[in-house]
Every structure is written in C-alpha cells, then in structure tokens.
C-alpha cells in the first residue's frame, strides 16, 4: 500500500488497486477499465485517421469538454475553508435553534469568501464588497448565513438586484471594464438610486479593499428573527468580528498587489490555515424587540440601514474557527450552494423586502448552476444530521427513498412523519395591508446614515473616500452622471462634495439631489453641464 491508496478510490469492498509495472495504481477509465496507453490515441497508420473504437480517447475528451459549469452570476470568485462554530452560552430564552442551546457545543462549518462583481478569474484586491457566506451543519439541518463584509446593501428591494448587478458588470456592448474600475453604467445607476448612498460610502472606503479575508468583518445585513420554544420572536442582527481586527490596504497598494499576485487573498488564507495559524471570528448579535425598533426614525427592515452599536451593543455568542482547507476546490468551494432560505427551527425571516427576494433567488440559481434538483446530494451541500425526504429521481439522484414507500400518509407504517413539535414553525406574524408595489415612507431617508458613516471615519480615511470617489468619477465619461453624483454627496457632506467637485473640475456645486427617484425630465442633460471641464 502506498500513499496513492489514501488518495485514490478503493473498490466497493475496500480492496486495494491493481498495481502497474512501476508500482503505481493502474490508471483506469471512469468505468474502471484498466488503461494500457494514455499517451497515444488509436488510429490507422502513424499518423492516420482516428478510430471511433477508441473508447478511452472518447471518454477522456468527452469528460474534459464538460468540465466547466456556469460561474455564479454574482460572487463568482471565491475561496472557502472548513472549520467549526463553538457556542459560548445558551440562548434558549431567545431561540430554540439547537445550535445555540449548549455552551461549548461545536458545529461543523464551511465558509466561502468572495468578491461580488468580478468573474471567476478576476483578481482578489478589487474595490468591491466581499461575500462572507457561512454554512453551519447543525443537528437540525443546514443554516446558511449568507452575508457580506459590509453591513448594508445597495438596494432596498430585491426586484432591483438584476439592475444593480447589470450596471456593475462589464457593459454589454464592449464587455469591459471589469468590475473594479469605474464606468458610466455603474455610476449612472447609482446616481439614479439614492438609496445606494450609504452603501456607496462603505464601498468607497478602505473597507472595500481588505488586507485579507482574515481581517474582515462579516454581517448578516438583514434583520432576522430568533424564535424561542414558546414561539416568541426577538429581532436579531448578526455580526462576525475578526479576532485579528480589521485591516485594509490602500488603493495604490491594491493596484500593485493585483498586478504582482492576483491570488493574494486566497494564498493568504491557504498559507495561514496550512501553517496552523487558524483564523477566528466571534459571532455577535444585536437583539431587540418591536418597541426598540419603533424608537428609530429609520426602519429596521430597510437593508440600507444599520442599528448603531452605540444604541445597541453587539454581544458575542460564539466563535468560528477555520482550520481545514478543502481537499478539492471544485468539489467543495465551487459546488457549495448557499441559500438564505436554509434556516433551522428557531431562526426566521423578517419582512425585509431584500431578504424576501433572496429567499427565491438562491434556490432558483442553484438549479441552473449545479445542473438539477439534486445538488443537496453533493457531500458539501448535504446535511450532516440524519435526514429523510420522499424526494426522488431527477438528474444524478444519489439518495432515493429505499423500499416501497415514497409518500405519506401510507398504510405500511414505514417512513418519516412530520412533527409539529420538532419541525420548523414559521413565526406567526400578523400581516395586513393592501396588495401594492410600493415602499414605505420609513425607507425614505437615504442620507443620514451615509453622513454618519462618513463622519465616523478618521481624517485619513475620509481622504481615502474622497480620493476613491474622485478616481472613480474621473473615469466616468458622461458629465451629467458626474454632476449627479456630486449632487448626492452634497446631501452627505458638503466638504466631501466640494473636494470631489474641485478635483473633477466642476466649476460650481450643483443643486443638492432630490432624494426621490428622478423623473425622465431630470435625466435630460441640462445646459449647466456645458461648463463642466472634460
Ligand atoms: C451569491 C450575499 C443580495 C442573489 C451571494 C453570495 C453571497 C451573497 C455571500 C456568495 C455565496 C457563495 O459564496 O457561494 C448577499 C448579500 C445580499 C445579497 C449579503 C444583500 C444583503 C442578493 C439579492 C439577490 C442575490 C437581492 C437576488 C435577488 C444572489 C445569487 C448568488 C448570490 C443569484 C449566486 C449564488 C450561487 O450561484 O451560488 N450573495 N447577496 N443576492 N446572490 Fe446574493
């Protein structure tokens, strides 16, 4: 037996391989047939026409031809690791989720970090949001906390997601630029979407170019619910705090690193974990009720808002340690399927319209990306607790029901049954109102928290924001868009707006933007724009 025995597949009965003349296991086809010559295809004469008899050649090329699957429509570039979550204390008063009942309990975890806008082969240090997706394999099924390293989002309603993503991805006619460099489509959309201003402040800040995944925070973004055994609900916001603290790089460093080592972040995580330097985060929560939510001018269901930590401190409830790299990047990191809809009993959704839309999108996209309904049969996606469904068949079915029974109720006394006590009970919130397409007034303030974020930054950090905005907007060709962006900045901070306007060469400050979505008329280039230096 050699090292190959551990790395290669054994026979059904656990038997060892046949060995080739040089002592290595014999190379086989995918059907297990031993291969005599993997260097030369079968043909008549040398050279000569190839023969269809050559099943080894055909299988090898066929499989290679089909190696690619669609990259994720967003967050295509990512890197993952295994680890565990350890609960600090029982949260039974707030949630019946099994994962939060027993101090010291460890739950296996897989985490995937990602950029949002770049393609799978893009570089690591783009100015971009970072995904921070955590799959906890709890004893009551998988819990996916599919978050980002920024606590707010660009849009308030999931129906705008295709628009914001189309605008940030390469433009459809020219197929450039790659995400991280400014372009008219993106800034056009942003400047027409005042609700994005808070997020834009974060994205233009140093937060958007992390030093490594190990120095990043993570956020669940939305307000979720904890629900306890008495079916009482508490609102909860989730935060991941890195034990190493927060660190970013400056833009000029990022540009150099991207050129020298586009894999900088993945190499950092690989090297840290392989050398036993396991990165760690604390999971923290902000817990509150409706009465507390009502004390704010903004709506806690609006994903463009944070709940300031000064108003409601975050409390640590457990820790996440990443201690093992996947054995195979494709099988695990590429095929892992995160879905916001994956919640165990005791964790539930709020009415945040972005979250509600996400709960549809993720299941839908996995069907396409992973090629059918059985992606939960892949080891990385399968629960690690016992599970029993009556689902069957479909492409690549590995876990069909065993025996006669594939439905219930049945008379055979066989198979699983639902459990009102143990099963997931949706929180019975009281809902009422007209069926409308609209947003509440409580979602209307788009500038206060953008301003608070900007003011909370140190002077060098504020300078970086101004430099980033100037750099990005200076690449926008259409002066209308530049000016429209400055008109929003005035509503955030006048000094910031003036600095950016001067650096862009605007001769005077435009009028402050109206928070409302502009009308078609507003979008016509105004004569005042002729004074803008190009
Ligand atoms: C992927 C976070 C909003 C649709 C992801 C991933 C993360 C993430 C972390 C990567 C998962 C992975 O590593 O495999 C977020 C956050 C959002 C948000 C924090 C806002 C708070 C949305 C919205 C939609 C959406 C509004 C659609 C309505 C998708 C899709 C993927 C994705 C389709 C690709 C999933 C895959 O192919 O595996 N998102 N997202 N996201 N997100 Fe979101």
- The string of pLDDT tens digits covering residues 459-472 is 999 999 999 999 99
Annotated catalytic residues are 75, 148
High-pLDDT (> 70) share of the chain, %: 94
Q: Which two tokens stand for residue 390?
A: 């009556």
High-pLDDT (> 90) share of the chain, %: 89
> Does 113 sit in the ligand 1 pocket, CB within 6 Å?
no
Atom of ligand 1 nearest to the CA of 337: 38
Higher local confidence (pLDDT), 229 or 183: 229
> Contact, 109 vs 240, CB < 8 A?
no
* Ligand 1 pocket: which of 72, 73, 74 to mutate (most atoms within 8 A of CB): 74
- How many whole angstroms separate alpha carbon 259 and alpha carbon 123? 9
What is the residue with the minimal CA distance to atom 26 of ligand 1? Answer: 158
What is the residue with the minimal CA distance to atom 42 of ligand 1? Answer: 74
Q: What is the pLDDT of residue 526?
A: 43
Reference 43, options 53, 34, 35, 33; nearest CA is 53
Over 80: is that where the pLDDT of 81 sits? yes
Q: What is the pLDDT of residue 179?
A: 61
Confidence of residue 46 (pLDDT cuts 50, 70, 90): confident
Mean pLDDT of the chain: 93
**47 Cα: distance to centroid of ligand 1 (angstroms):** 51
Q: Which contacts qualify for 86-94: CB closer than 8 Å, 24 or more apart?
A: 86/318, 86/319, 86/321, 87/317, 87/318, 88/316, 88/317, 88/318, 88/319, 89/317, 91/226, 91/317, 92/228, 92/229, 93/228, 94/226, 94/228, 94/234, 94/236, 94/287
> Does 133 sit in the ligand 1 pocket, CB within 6 Å?
yes
> Does 134 sit in the ligand 1 pocket, CB within 6 Å?
no
Over 80: is that where the pLDDT of 515 sits? no
> Could you tell me the CA-to-CA distances from 253 to 191, 210, 211, 415 in Å, in that order?
28, 11, 10, 59
Confidence of residue 9 (pLDDT cuts 50, 70, 90): confident
Q: What is the pLDDT of residue 1?
A: 40
Place of tokens 């995937």: 112
Over 70: is that where the pLDDT of 523 sits? no
- How many whole angstroms separate alpha carbon 464 and alpha carbon 19? 62
> Does 75 sit in the ligand 1 pocket, CB within 6 Å?
yes
- How many whole angstroms separate alpha carbon 449 and alpha carbon 2? 61
Q: What is the pLDDT of residue 519?
A: 43
What is the residue with the minimal CA distance to atom 20 of ligand 1? Answer: 153
Confidence of residue 314 (pLDDT cuts 50, 70, 90): very high
Q: Which two tokens stand for residue 377?
A: 């049969």
What is the residue with the minimal CA distance to atom 9 of ligand 1? Answer: 131
> Does 515 sit in the ligand 1 pocket, CB within 6 Å?
no
Longest dimension (CA), the chain: 85
Q: What is the pLDDT of residue 182?
A: 62
**75 Cα: distance to centroid of ligand 1 (angstroms):** 7
The pTM is what?
Answer: 0.94
10 Å CB burial of residue 520 (0-12, 13-18, 19+) is exposed
> Does 484 sit in the ligand 1 pocket, CB within 6 Å?
no
Over 70: is that where the pLDDT of 358 sits? yes
Atom of ligand 1 nearest to the CA of 80: 13
Higher local confidence (pLDDT), 100 or 182: 100
Reported ipTM: the value is 0.96
> Does 363 sit in the ligand 1 pocket, CB within 6 Å?
no
Q: In sequence order, what are the beta bridge partners of 227?
A: 233
Q: What is the rounded average pLDDT of the residues 171-176?
A: 92
Reference 281, options 229, 218, 324; nearest CA is 218
> Could you tell me the CA-to-CA distances from 104 to 108, 145, 221, 381 in Å, in that order?
13, 20, 26, 25
Confidence of residue 17 (pLDDT cuts 50, 70, 90): confident
Q: What is the rounded average pLDDT of the residues 512-520?
A: 64
Higher local confidence (pLDDT), 162 or 19: 162
Over 80: is that where the pLDDT of 35 sits? yes
**197 Cα: distance to centroid of ligand 1 (angstroms):** 20
Q: Which segment, 8-12, 175-179, 400-404, is predicted with the most confidence on average? A: 400-404
Q: What is the pLDDT of residue 5?
A: 52
> Does 338 sit in the ligand 1 pocket, CB within 6 Å?
yes
- How many whole angstroms separate alpha carbon 507 and alpha carbon 500? 11
> Does 359 sit in the ligand 1 pocket, CB within 6 Å?
no
Q: What is the pLDDT of residue 521?
A: 45
421 C-beta neighbours (distance < 10 Å), count: 7
* Ligand 1 pocket: which of 72, 150, 160 to mutate (most atoms within 8 A of CB): 72
Which segments within 94-157 are labelled E, that is strand? Answer: 106-115, 130-138, 141-148
Q: In sequence order, what are the beta bridge partners of 248?
A: 210
> Could you tell me the CA-to-CA distances from 467 to 51, 115, 195, 250, 513 in Å, in that order?
63, 22, 22, 11, 21
Q: Which two tokens stand for residue 514?
A: 């109206």
Q: Which of 365-374, 495-504, 522-531 has the lowest mean pLDDT?
A: 522-531
Higher local confidence (pLDDT), 514 or 305: 305
For 406-443, the pLDDT digits (tens) are 999 999 988 899 999 999 999 999 999 999 999 999 99
């Amino acid at each position: 037996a050699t090292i190959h025995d551990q790395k290669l597949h054994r026979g059904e009965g656990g038997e060892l391989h046949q060995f080739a003349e040089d002592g290595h296991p014999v190379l086989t086809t995918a059907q297990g047939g031993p291969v005599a010559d993997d260097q030369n295809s079968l043909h008549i004469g040398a050279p000569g026409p190839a023969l269809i008899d050559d099943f080894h050649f055909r299988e090898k090329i066929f499989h290679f031809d089909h190696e690619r699957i669609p990259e994720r429509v967003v967050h295509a570039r990512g890197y993952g690791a295994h680890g565990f979550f350890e609960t600090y204390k029982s949260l039974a008063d707030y949630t019946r989720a099994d994962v939060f009942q027993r101090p010291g309990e460890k739950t296996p975890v897989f985490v995937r970090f990602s950029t949002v806008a770049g393609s799978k082969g893009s570089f690591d240090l783009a100015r971009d949001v970072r995904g921070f997706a955590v799959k906890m394999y709890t004893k009551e099924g998988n819990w996916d906390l599919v978050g980002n390293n920024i606590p707010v989002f660009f849009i308030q309603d999931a129906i705008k997601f295709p628009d914001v993503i189309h605008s940030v991805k390469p433009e459809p006619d020219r197929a450039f630029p790659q995400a991280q460099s400014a372009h008219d489509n993106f800034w056009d959309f942003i400047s027409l979407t005042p609700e994005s201003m808070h997020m834009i402040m974060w994205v233009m800040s140093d937060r958007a170019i992390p030093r490594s995944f190990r120095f990043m925070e993570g956020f669940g973004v939305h307000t979720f619910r904890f629900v306890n055994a008495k079916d009482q609900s508490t609102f909860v916001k989730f935060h991941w705090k890195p034990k190493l603290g927060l660190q970013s790089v400056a833009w000029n460093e990022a540009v150099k690193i991207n050129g020298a080592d586009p894999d900088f972040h993945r190499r950092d995580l690989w090297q840290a974990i392989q050398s036993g330097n396991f990165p760690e985060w604390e999971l923290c929560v902000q817990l509150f009720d409706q009465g507390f939510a009502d004390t704010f001018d903004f709506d806690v269901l609006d994903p463009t808002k944070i709940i300031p930590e000064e108003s409601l401190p975050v409390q640590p409830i457990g820790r996440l340690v990443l201690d093992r790299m996947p054995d195979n990047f494709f099988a695990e990191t590429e095929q892992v399927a995160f879905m916001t809809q994956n919640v165990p009993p005791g964790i539930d959704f709020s009415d945040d319209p972005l979250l509600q839309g996400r709960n549809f999108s993720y299941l839908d996209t996995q069907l396409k990306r992973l090629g059918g309904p059985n992606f939960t049969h892949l080891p990385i996606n399968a629960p690690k607790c016992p599970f029993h469904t009556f689902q069957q068949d479909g492409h690549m079915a590995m876990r069909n029901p065993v025996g006669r029974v594939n439905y219930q109720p049945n008379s055979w006394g066989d198979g699983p049954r639902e459990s009102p006590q143990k099963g997931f009970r949706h929180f019975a919130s009281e809902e009422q109102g007209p069926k409308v397409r609209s947003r509440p007034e409580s979602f209307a303030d788009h500038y206060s928290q953008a301003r608070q974020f900007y003011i909370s930054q140190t002077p060098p950090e504020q300078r970086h924001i101004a430099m980033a905005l100037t750099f990005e907007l200076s690449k926008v060709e259409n002066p209308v868009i530049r000016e429209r962006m400055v008109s929003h900045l005035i509503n955030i901070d006048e000094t910031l707006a003036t600095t950016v306007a001067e650096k862009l060469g605007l001769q005077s400050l435009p009028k402050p933007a109206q928070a409302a979505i502009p009308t078609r008329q507003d979008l016509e280039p105004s004569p005042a724009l002729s004074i803008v230096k190009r």
